[in-house]
Structure formats: structure tokens, C-alpha cells
Amino acid sequence: MSILTQPWPWYVSGPLIGLMVPILLIMGNKTFGISSSLRHICAACIPGKAEFFKYDWKAESWNLIFALGIVLGGLVAGYFFANPNPIQISEATVADLSSMGIKDFSGFVPNDIFNFQSLLTVKGFLLMIVGGFFVGFGTRYAGGCTSGHSIMGMSNLQLPSLIATICFFVGGLAMTWFILPWIMSL
């Protein structure tokens, strides 16, 4: 059982994530990618007048089912295979984040910011609502996310995917080093 409750090292989990690429291709002729599911949710629930959401989303429903599978996997791994110990974060990161005011390092997210009460604070609203908006808007405008571009696209040696991945990192670095300290001070 300990193999299920212990966190998996990068050289186990990384190759397993990479194997999703050939497994999806061989089992279903599907290219790995998650962010399209957000578009299918829009097309299914709130298509409105936009041409972008007028397509046969049911033909792409495998992607939604895959996303539902991720939720169930998260549920089982989160409840039944949960690591009893807090995630081992590097001391330097803990020190940096503590100096920005984060106190709770026990969960997957800083529980002192990511909670329903702080949705009404400027800091919480920016990190959760605006952050989520950027994820949804940005991935669709970029034509994919970490899975569709950084893993699937790069596996197929696509230059646009390399460019997108570099931009993901530049955006993340700009947020982490320049904007996040300001948001945390609000």
C-alpha cells in the first residue's frame, strides 16, 4: 500500500505522464490535451451566439469524459491514497512564501488564501477568479495548455508548441517574480 500513499518521484511520474501520449493515440486515435474540454463545456452549456462554440461538441465528448475521469482519479487518490505527510517543499520556497505572508503549507494550495471567505478579498479575487480567467482565456487563445502544447505538441516536435511553452514560462516567471509579491501585499 505504501507505493500508493507515498508521493511518486519525478522519474516515475514524469514517464507515466509521457506515456499518456502513445496510449491515447493507440487506444483511441486522440491527441492528448485537456484545455479543449473547457471549450466543450461552453459549447454544451452556454454556446450563445459565438461561432466558436457552434460545432458538434458531442463528437469530441471523449475529452469531457477524460476530464471527468481526472476528477474521479483526484477523488480516489486524494481520499484513499492520500499522503499522510505534508508535501515536502524546498526550504527556500517556504522562506520566500512565508515572507509574503503565507502561513499554511499543509495542503495542495495555501489554504489561508484559497478559501471561500477570501473570494471577497482583493488578493483572493485576483488569485482565484482573475487567475482562473487567465487560464481559460489564455489556453484557448494559445491553442492548448501544458498537456496539449508542452507535452503533446512538443512530443510531435511542433515549433508553435515550443513557442507557446516558452511563453507559458515567461508569463509564470513574470507573475512569480514581479506581480505576485505585489498581489500578496494587498
Partner 1 sequence: MSKIKFLTLGFIFGVILIKAEVISWFRIQEMFRFQAFQMYGIIGSAVVIGVISVFLIKKYNIKTIKGEEIKIEPKKFSIGNIIGGLMFGLGWAMTGACPGPLYALVGSGLLIIAVVLLSAVFGTWVYGCLRNKFPH
Positions in 22-41 near partner 1 (CB under 8 A): 22-31, 34-35, 37-39, 41
Per-residue x/- mask for partner 1, residues 43 to 82, rule CB under 8 A? ---x-xxxxxx--------x--xxxxxxxxxxxxxxx-x-
Positions in 76-135 near partner 1 (CB under 8 A): 76-79, 81, 87, 89-90, 92-93, 96-97, 105, 107-110, 114-116, 119, 126-135
Q: Which residue from 84, 85, 120, 152 is in contact with partner 1, where contact means CB under 8 A?
A: 152
- Is residue 142 part of the contact set for partner 1 (CB under 8 A)? yes
Q: List CB contacts of 2: < 8 A, sequence separation 6 or more.
A: none
Question: In angstroms, rounded to a whole number, what is the distance separating the alpha carbons of residues 8 and 4?
Answer: 8
What is the DSSP secondary-structure string of 86-105?
PP---HHHHHHHHHTT----
CB of 103 to partner 1, least distance (A): 13
- Is residue 143 part of the contact set for partner 1 (CB under 8 A)? yes
- Is residue 163 part of the contact set for partner 1 (CB under 8 A)? yes
Angle CA 20–23–25, to nearest 5:
105
For residue 62, count CB atoms less than 10 angstroms from its CB and return exposed for 0-12, middle for 13-18, buried for 19 or more.
Answer: middle
